[in-house]
Chain A
Amino acid sequence: MATDNANAGGFGEVSRLRGVVFEYLSLGASVAGLVALGVLLVYVTIDAFDLANASPEWLLTYFLTLVVPFLAFCLYSANDPTVTRRALGALGGGLVAVAALFTAIEAFVAQIPRLSWQLAYLFVVATPVTAYLAYVGSRGRVGAVGFGLMGRLVGGAALGLAVGTLFLVFDPLVWFLAYTLGVVPAVALYAYGARRSAPRAVAAAIPVGLVGVVVAVVLRGVVTTYPSDLIIYAWTLAVPIAIAGWRVVADRGSRAAAVAAGGVPLAVAVAGGFLAGGFGVPGPTALIVLVTVGVPTAVYVHRAIDEGDGVVGLALPVLLVGGALVGALVVEAWGVPAPDPWLDAGYVTESPSSTAIEAGLYPAIVGSVIIIALVAVLSFVLGVGTSVFLEEYMPESGVLGSLTRLLQVNIANLAAIPSVVYGLLGLGLFANLLGFGLGTAVTASLTLSLLILPITIISAQEAIRSVPDDLRRGSDAMGATRWQTTKNVVLPEAFPGILTGTILALGRAIGETAPLLMIGAATTVFSAPDSLFSRFSAMPMQIYAWANFPQAEFRYGVVAAGVITLLIILIGMNGTAILLRNRAERGN
């Protein structure tokens, strides 16, 4: 706001005009960008879900069976008459305003393509109000419990699918041997040592684990008979997750509940894994997803019931699923014309096709997920390593100090190099010189890791720098070595910041196309990559290829569905990062 300048010269008048103009200019600047993005997303969503062909009755049905109960849930959780009044006012007033404004524009200005006033209401009023109410509702206890449960259901499913995807390229048989011979003995030794206070057993855990893993790799070439995949997954993933769930609940003091929290999901998952084949779903994937969904859900439900507050919130998933089912039933029973979304189950599980209806993104999704998983590991290790070294170990003065500054300047400059150049580097270094192959998943992930490395380094440095020096000095004063200080004080304190920076950088990596083009990644593949050295396609590559198909259905529907899929995965990644960060911050 404008300042009122009352200095020694008396109460002279200062024009507020400049301040007001500035304020509105900055408002305009922020709104312009957001509105443009909003319009883009609205149209992409309409195309992806074929909402342009959604009849008003269809929209109304789902609004009544799905959205209204959800809003009521949020309002119940918020339990605030002001919010309720405001929400109802916005929904009702918005309905009138949007309908009137939309009709007026259509009548006097121009037709608005592919949009009806009902859709406009959905996007302009209903969506923001829902988001606002979800936010307000989540601050009430009931809402927090409900959203917590939804988060575990959705997050667990996403995690399970991601793990299942990784096993497409990583040999589950090696993992089985390494787990059995390395991980289990090491954990057992460690647990024994920790319980009996035998430091030697604890110290032996890591070497034993490493030896086990090496033996596993050697044995993989020798042993030819293995348990079936389903049993491998159950033994190496489901059992430990169930035990983890059991322990978490047992720590809260209830043994029977603990056994139930670990055992019931495990039993359901194993049964589900055996039965899934009958429904055309791969058993091992079903098993993992059921376990990653079931165990956290069971643990969370136990906690909510244990704390006894806001237990009603646990009904939220039932409410949503029930609403969707009732909506589907009504649509079916009364023959309401329903849209035919491009983004459906077939789209994410099928291979690309030359006919738009059958086209799917599955191989590209798998390619992207695998690459991003590798990039996450590589860039996290390299980025954190570099930043810790630069911040904690390199001296700030003297000859080495100027070297540090030189390095610093170069890292900042690297962040500004166009991605095509990194593509060239990847082509020359990884694909040709080191022989990782043209367009393979390894080449792509190494290239993309280099691309985002400067960003991860800089953000991790910022996070480490923001750890107060008092903490370091305090740790030093206790006689801690520099390694102990870094491990116990600096990294835990900086972890949330490091994580945020890394995930933002990963968001950039998953959408990159230019470096992938340079390293010769394929635009279209028909089966998911089955090893790190097989050629792959990534989501942006496939979307780009479709955008140039002659058929209009590809350029609108199929591409839009791809964009939405990419966005959902990106939002999922960012959401995970925010959750982890919040958790780490609370931990501190």
Chain B
Amino acid sequence: MASSHDADTEGITRRKALSALGGAGALALAGCTQSSGDGGGDGLSGSINIAGSSTVFPLMSAIAEDFAADHDQVSIDISPTGSGGGFSNYFCVGDTDFNNASRPIQPAEEERCAENGVEYVELIAATDALTIVVNPEADWIDHLTVEELATIWEEDAVETWDEVRDEFPNEEINRFGAADTSGTYDYFIEAILEERGHTSDYQATEQDNSIAQGVSGSEYAIGYFGFAYYYQNPDQLKALGIDAGDGPVEPSLETASSGEYTPLSRPLFTYPSIESLGKEHVAEFARYFVEQTTNEDLVAGDVGYVPATEETQEEQMEILEDAIERAQE
């Protein structure tokens, strides 16, 4: 552009340049035009904020990805914050539209949501088999009873493996588990430990990968996490069968869906806020989500959870439609 550089000999060219500029501008204005504010696409637009369980994260992001591909005006963002972290920090203060959870919402969280006037509806996303893993080198163990599992993880837990079962080696137990913001932690307490509390003598993390790394690093380590990680890396770790009284059952998509794998098969949830369902693009996404929960390829194949049955899906869809109706009144 014209600068402070000053040379009189260039006067003519500069004038020419300015007129050329003007000419180009006029031509440009006369040329193709657009009108501002045209939406385009199928009319759905807006943003959807999702936080919550890192267990549900892979499922939710797989579904969101497909939805985003079909609706390019809808921007979706997802953060794995843990079920509890998502409820208390984001969802119940009205910052997110959905919160994923790997256990039902808890009374304290219900209160917090109510205080801020956030209403929600509970949708079942899929079924998970909470998996207990040990090091693949550990050939001295292939299953645990529910009671044995509890002695390992209860608040006043045993120190060495031979205290769990006599034939186990006299070696210290190395524990890797979910952090207390995680729904997996809450569910594990509810299903196995109940009043006995969760030990604090363990490596707590929100990341399955860290648990897997820890367990594969020591022959006497034990850990638990959602089924998806084990499903994708079956050779890296060894999953233990769980004996709830009818003999040991190993975790798999079949045993989880048939209900044999008790008490560790659990439903996964997502909680849309009613207020957000009032927006058409959020409601549409929620419908799409419920439709996809029976998609075998996606839920089981890509992610590693048990898809919902047609029956559950119909129930969920009814609940959702009621909520949407209520929101859009």
Contacts and interface: CB of A to CB of B under 8 A. Distances in A.
Interface of A: 173, 180, 184, 187-188, 190-191, 194-195, 220, 223-232, 234-235, 239-240, 243-244, 246-247, 250-251, 255, 351-355, 438-439, 520-527, 529-530, 534-537, 545, 547-552, 555
Contact of A227 (B34, B228, B229): B34
A316 to B, nearest CB: 30
A455 B91 CA distance: 36
Contact of B65 (A194, A229, A353, A547): A353
B2 interface: yes
Contacts, number: 152
Interface stretch (B74-82, B170-178, B215-223): B74-82
B25 A354 contact: no
Contact of A228 (B4, B31, B229): B31
Contacts of B35: 224-226
B8 A226 contact: no
20 contacts: A187-B1, A190-B2, A195-B11, A231-B28, A231-B32, A247-B2, A250-B13, A520-B90, A520-B95, A522-B77, A524-B78, A525-B78, A526-B77, A527-B75, A527-B76, A535-B49, A536-B77, A547-B209, A548-B207, A548-B208
B233 A550 contact: yes
A246 to B, nearest CB: 8
Contact of B1 (A180, A240, A520, A521): A240
A224 B65 CA distance: 34
Nearest to A535: B77
Interface string B20-36: 01001100110111111
Contact of A523 (B6, B10, B79, B209): B79
A549 B58 contact: yes
A225 B35 CA distance: 4
B138 interface: no
Given A188-B18, A227-B34, A526-B68, A552 B28 contact: no
B33 A520 contact: no
Nearest to A231: B28
A406 B266 CA distance: 59
B2 A191 contact: yes
B90 to A, nearest CB: 7
A55 to B, nearest CB: 26
Given A229-B34, A239-B21, A351 B68 contact: yes
A227 B2 contact: no
B28 A234 contact: yes
Contacts of A439: 49, 77, 79
Given A188-B2, A550-B58, A526 B65 contact: yes
A550 B208 contact: yes
B49 A551 contact: no
Given A231-B32, A352-B65, 5 more contacts: A194-B2, A195-B8, A224-B36, A228-B34, A351-B68
Which of A524, A529, A534, A537: most chain B Cβ within 10 A? A524
A225 B37 CA distance: 10
A227 B58 contact: no
B183 interface: no
A522 B78 contact: yes
B231 to A, nearest CB: 7
A224 B79 contact: no
A550 B232 contact: yes
A550 B229 contact: yes
Contacts of B76: 525-527
Contacts of B47: 534-535
A251 B17 CA distance: 15
Interface in B27-70: 28-29, 31-37, 47, 49, 54, 58, 61-62, 64-65, 68-69
Nearest to B11: A195
Contact of B62 (A226, A354, A535): A354
B25 A523 contact: no
| Shortest beta-carbon contacts, A-B, top 10 | A522-B77, A191-B2, A526-B68, A550-B232, A354-B62, A525-B77, A550-B229, A228-B32, A231-B28, A527-B75
A179 B78 CA distance: 37
B302 interface: yes
A216 B58 CA distance: 46
Contacts of B229: 550
Nearest to A530: B75
Which of B2, B10, B14, B18: most chain A Cβ within 10 A? B2
B33 A225 contact: yes
Contacts of A352: 61, 65
Contacts of A247: 2-3, 5
A194 B210 CA distance: 66
Contacts of A251: 5
A418 B72 CA distance: 38
Contacts of B79: 439, 520-524
B75 A227 contact: no
A351 B65 contact: yes
A534 B28 contact: no
Interface string B286-322: 0000000000000000111000000000000000000
Contacts of B232: 550-552
A187 B8 CA distance: 17
